[in-house]
Structure 1
Amino acid sequence: MKKILVTAAVALSLFSLTASAAELISKDEAHHFKYHYVGKISVGATSGEVSSPSDLHKKLSDEADKKGGKYYVIIAAREHGPNFEANAEVFK
């Protein structure tokens, strides 16, 4: 389980999106820079919509943007069959 979480986190950190998209950061960065906590988000596996780490990253970034956040920290992630799902905390 830890191997999947670490693999997903590393894979997600390798993908970059546009400047306006929320970025994946570590929990330490969020606390070090004293970012303001906005709330939690979840992305679930539905109909193959989140079938790769890059799909998961895009969905989490989109959800964080909707909450008005600039950053998110993955607190739990897993591969569920052919899909991925995750929970994250959003910061700005």
Structure 2
Amino acid sequence: MKITRSMLFAGLFGLTCCVAAQAAQNISKEEVKHFKLTKVGSISVAETGGSISSPSDLHQEISKRADEKGAKYYVVIAAREHGPNFDAVVDLYK
């Protein structure tokens, strides 16, 4: 089985979600529906100059911003590697 870049990114991103115990957690859209969570907003994380240069950096920044907005969970709508940076758009939930 050939491992693609997106599969590697998804795996690394999922692994980093286990690192911070009290930070906002990445969940699926199905979990949002199942637990009937309330959407509290959306955020976009995009930095330049290589400040978010790994999936781990991206997770930390998303969690930090979600915490600032009072969210406990987030769903990644889109994520990509753009040159030396990673960026994402996420929906936030309580």
Is TM-score (shorter-chain normalized) higher than 0.5? Answer: yes
Identity score, percent:
52
Q: Which runs of 5+ in 1 are unaligned?
A: none
Instruction: Select which of 68, 71, 91 maps to 1:69.
Output: 71
Amino acid at match of 1:17: V
- Residues 13-53 of structure 1: CA deviation (Å, up to 9, x unaligned): 11123322000111111111111101001100322110000
Contact 1:5/1:77 (8 A) holds in 2: no
> 2:9 maps to which residue?
8
Deviation (angstroms), 1:9: 3.0
Q: Which runs of 5+ in 2 are unaligned?
A: none
Amino acid at match of 2:15: L
Runs of 4 or more, structure 1, over 6 Å off, are none
Q: For 1:9-88, what aligned pairs fall within 5 Å after superposition?
A: 9-15=10-16, 16-88=18-90
Amino acid at match of 1:87: V
Rate the CA distance shift 1:32–1:61 in 2: closer, same or farther, 3 A. Answer: same
Give the number of the structure whose alpha-carbon radius of gyration is greater.
2
SS in 2 for 1:48: coil
Amino acid at match of 1:57: H
Return the alpha-carbon distance in structure 1 between the equivalents of residues 81 and 11 of structure 2. Answer: 14
TM-score, normalised relative to structure 1: 0.88
Q: CA RMSD in A?
A: 1.5
TM-score, normalised relative to structure 2: 0.86
